[in-house]
Structure 1
Amino acid sequence: MAESRSKLVIVGIGDDGLAGMTESARRIVAEAEVILGAPAMLSLLDGLSGRKEALEPDMPAALRQVREALASQRAVLVSGGDPLFYGVARYLCDRLGKDQFEVIPHVSSMQLAFARVKESWEDAYLTSLAGRPLEAVVDRIRTAEKVGLFSSDEHPPNRLARALLDRGIDYFRAYVCENLGSPDERVTQAELTDLASMDFDPLNVLILIRKPNRPDQASRAGRHRLFGNPDDMFAQTLPKRGLITQAEVRSIALAQLDIRPDSVVWDIGAGSGSVAIEAAQLAYQGMVYAVEPEPADVALIEANAESFGVPNVRPVPGRAPEVLASLPDPDAIFVGGTGRQVVLVLRSAYARLCPGGRMAVNVVTIDGLATALETLKNLTSEVQVWNISIARGIEQMDRVRFEAINPTFLLAVTKTPDVSD
């Protein structure tokens, strides 16, 4: 008889380690055969007999470690604070299934930080600076009343303070809460101008409280539309001008992709990056990977991303499907160029798409439509198809005439979970 596989328990811990845990949580960790976690978390668990294994910082690699740990009878993963509040638990549950895990939370350091400064947090903008574009976070802070931020090595409190001051956002009182719950806990109150020159322990939470009666600083991103920007707003190589995904087609495709603020998006065959850039404006807390083999177009993606102020676009030089292996699993995929490997690219991309994710494919020829449609039908039961023909009105003297743009085809699918998983 096959032995049933146990769940992996995800346990939240504070900076005081075992001493601050409940008796039941402490017993689960003490009896574990395998203990996964970040090195800083594992260092708080000296004296336990379980084999400690540092979790890889690269999430696909960490996912493989967790899959291996699930085969153990008593496996535990330790995570700081509440593992479901900007912790690893959500990522694992989304990819491996909620029924594979049990979550035992600790008090979140964010909750502790607000308690230390005696402010409520139910109406605050809460986020983490780790893996998120600084510009998008700053723009959300601009209109907030209260802010709670998990700092990161790349974006410590002093760098965020300088970014805010550079944009004229000087109307917050700041608190930096370090090593919460540990003997060397410290809470520092400062003006942003002072904070910009101060250093803090990496384990910190930054709280910003808006000063009374201070108006918002205007956003500097008002000249661009969220999506559907005119084609000529994007830099393009002259021989390829006109081959950009047209504004109207981009708008339909982005609507079909159902991009959320924290989505991971792939743009395969990105060209000058028009779809990637507008996807990044929608996924302002996420990341967009623009896959493009032509070096000249990779440079254009970088230039257009800088022009639009979207630092969460990451150009990926190379051809699909080879370069896809290095990317995190996407929530949405746009395929605008596949070369001669259309079948292989679509199959590889669909295989990596997260369950419930959307993929849109833009093709311009009848042969390309037939191949893409047949491939997608072999992958999923329902494929949506559009023939998009658009004519734009142009004023000529005192009349309006319509100039047709090249007709194109758009296909879209949703990835349904594999019932056999």
Structure 2
Amino acid sequence: MSERIHIVGIGDDGLDGLTGQARQLIEDAGILIGNQGLLDKVASEGAEKIVSSGTLEKLKQQILDLPDKPTVLLAGGDPLFYGIARFLTETFGKDRFEVVPHVSSMQLAFARVKESWDDAYLSNLANQPLDRVVDTIRTAERVGLFTTEAISPSVVAAALLDRRIDYFTVYVCENLGTRDETVTQGELKSIAEQTFGPMNVMVLVRRHGAADRPSGSQRRRLFGNPDDLFLQSRPKRGLLTPSEVRCIALSEMDLNHESVVWDVGAGSGALAIEAASIASSGKVFAIEMDAEDYGVMIENSKMFNVPALVPVHGQAPTAWADLPDPDSVFVGGSGRMVPELVAGAAKRLKKGGRIVVNVSSPDNLVAVEAQLKAAGLRSDVRMINIARGQYQLDRVRFDALNPTFLVLGAKE
């Protein structure tokens, strides 16, 4: 490997935007490494130019093969802000490099639109899933995005509108720092209909007073949302797991943000959707065999924007045959197959996992407990009686919901 390498940030304006130190390093370099676009921006006679247009592993090998000459690696903007410097310092050690940053195009973009970026949500769509980025944007005040050719500003705008997130003013900043610099301001709908060049940064600013939800809708909770917030199949209305029961069930499922969850007999998806809000970096497989309920679940999931939710249209146990083993399982229903499904799910449950079964009849309660014990799980049961207050004039009375049982199993 050569002597210490300087990683020099460079902007779209090339040498014109560099400091004297950065220019001198480039002029004195025996070797210049960078993508073809960056190499074309600098004129250094006598320096060997190495194009790094492959993978990170290829770049690593190119650096290992360098002769012992003064070397400058060119990077876009600030090499430590979504740049190559982190990979290199973690791979070879910090003592092998010196970093000379340029103004990041993200910083330039916020300066052009005259917005502070110290508390903004910043992301790079080249290495982050669009669904997760959109989910985080929903609650942000200001957002800065490095887009890609495939995930352009119009694609991002369309994805936001699909999730009913329509309360941002958008700025698309192209070719920052060059003579061709352009800043386009508009609403998401207009941005979704336009085409932009590949060199851009997208800035979103929440309109003053805008809520974290579509206009006219109720506020979404992480869990325990009101029952009437969910669509339900008309003939089966009332079969939705009540919000109070969902809260208890979700707490007993012992979820974390990376949990793998099965909801067997997901119905309209209320519990699965709220589980996916908690296990936001995991997977929640919502298994439902009824076509109508499955369709309702899809519609409900659009209102809540839960990328971790994976709807599965099929009948258990066949439907879970190819799914990953779960950390937690919820089984709901009143049919004769419930105990059999519990027995099958218990076999797939990971060590330390939890299973929660919601049944309404004492017969199923006894049968489910027997299956859990036969599977070697430690079991417990809760009987839940809920009465909700109903106000009439200046008085309150209580309407009782049907009693229900939660049977709990833990795999030691």
Please state which band the TM-score falls in when normalised by the shorter chain.
0.5 to 0.7
TM-score, structure 2 as length reference = 0.58
CA-to-aligned-CA distance 1:286-333 (integer Å, 9 cap, x gap): 554321122222232233334555566443222111111243444443
When residues 388 and 168 of structure 1 are mapped into structure 2, their CA distance, relative to the original with a 3 A threshold, is closer
Are 1:130 and 2:129 matched, yes or no?
yes
Deviation at 1:279, TM superposition (A): 2.7
After TM superposition, the score normalised by the length of structure 1 is 0.57
Q: 1:366-394: per-residue Cα shift (whole Å, max 9, x none)?
A: 22122222322344543342111122222
2: CA distance, partners of 1:240 / 1:405: 16
Contact 2:170 2:202 in 1 (8 A): no
Give the superposition deviation at 1:341: 3.3
One-letter identity of the residue aligned with 2:367: T
Q: CA distance change for structure 1 residues 249 and 152 in 2, over 3 Å: closer, same or farther?
A: farther
Q: Is 1:135–1:311's contact at 8 Å kept on the other side of the alignment?
A: no
Aligned residues: 312
Which residue is equivalent to 1:16?
A: 54
Shift, 1:160, TM fit: 0.8
Does structure 1 residue 271 correspond to structure 2 residue 288?
no
Name the residue aligned to 1:170: 169
Q: How does 1:344-383 map to 2 (within 5 A)?
A: 344-353=340-349, 356-383=352-379
Alignment of 1:29-108 (within 5 A): none
Unmatched tracts of structure 1, length 5 or more: 1-13, 27-80, 86-102, 178-187, 417-421
**Cα distance, 1:250 vs. partner?**
0.9
Q: Give the structure 1 partner of residue 80 of structure 2.
A: none
Residue aligned with 1:289, SS? strand
How far is the alpha carbon of 1:399 from its aligned partner?
3.6
1:210 to 1:169, Cα distance in 2 relative to 1, 3 A: closer
Q: CA RMSD in A?
A: 4.8
Q: Give the match for residue 212 of structure 2.
A: 219
Q: Deviations over 1:320-367 (max 9, x none)?
A: 111112434444432113743334422443444455554322111222
Q: How does 1:224-303 map to 2 (within 5 A)?
A: 224-226=219-221, 227-261=223-257, 263-284=259-280, 287-303=283-299
What are the Cα deviations for residues 168-217 of structure 1, in whole angstroms up to 9, with x where unaligned? 4235666899xxxxxxxxxx98657698544788xx9x865677x98574
Deviation at 1:230, TM superposition (A): 2.9
Query: Could you tell which deviates more after superposition, 269-278 or 247-256?
Result: 269-278
In the alignment, the residues of structure 2 paired with residue 164 and residue 272 of structure 1 have an alpha-carbon distance, to the nearest angstrom, of: 23
Give the Cα–Cα distance (whole angstroms) in 1 for the partners of residues 359 and 173 of structure 2: 51
1:323 to 319, 322, 325: 319
Secondary structure of residue in 1 paired with 2:357 = strand
Cα distance change of structure 1 residues 254 and 24 upon mapping to structure 2, 3 Å threshold: farther
Q: Which amino acid aligns with 1:367?
A: D
3-state DSSP of counterpart to 1:132: helix
Q: 1:167 aligns to what SS in structure 2?
A: coil
Give the 3-state SS of the residue equivalent to 1:243 in structure 2.
coil
Residue 249 of structure 1 deviates from its aligned partner by: 0.3
CA distance in 1, matches of 2:410, 2:123: 30
Change (3 A) 1:394 1:175: same
In the alignment, is the contact (CA less than 8 A) between 2:145 and 2:203 conserved in 1? no
Q: 2: distance between equivalents of 1:104 and 1:378?
A: 51
Q: Aligned to 1:385, which of 381, 385, 395?
A: 381
Kindly provide the amino acid, as one letter, of the partner of residue 143 in structure 1. E
For 1:255 and 1:176, the matched residues in 2 are separated by 50
**% of aligned pairs identical?**
35
Amino acid at match of 1:387: M
- How far did residue 22 of structure 1 move? 5.9
CA separation of 1:413 and 1:215: change in aligned 2, threshold 3 A: farther
CA–CA distance in structure 2, aligned partners of residues 257 and 294 of structure 1: 25
Matched-pair contact (CA < 8 Å) for 2:334–2:364: no
Whether the aligned pair in 2 keeps the contact of 1:253 and 1:410 (CA below 8 Å) is yes
- Would you say the 8 A contact 1:270–1:337 is kept in 2? no
Residue aligning to 2:45: none
Q: Secondary structure at the residue paired with 1:271?
A: coil
Preserved contact between residue 21 and residue 106 of structure 1 (Cα < 8 Å): no
In 2, distance between residues paired with 1:308 and 1:357? 26
Contact 1:330 1:353 in 2 (8 A): yes
Larger radius of gyration: 2
Match of 2:330 in 1: 334
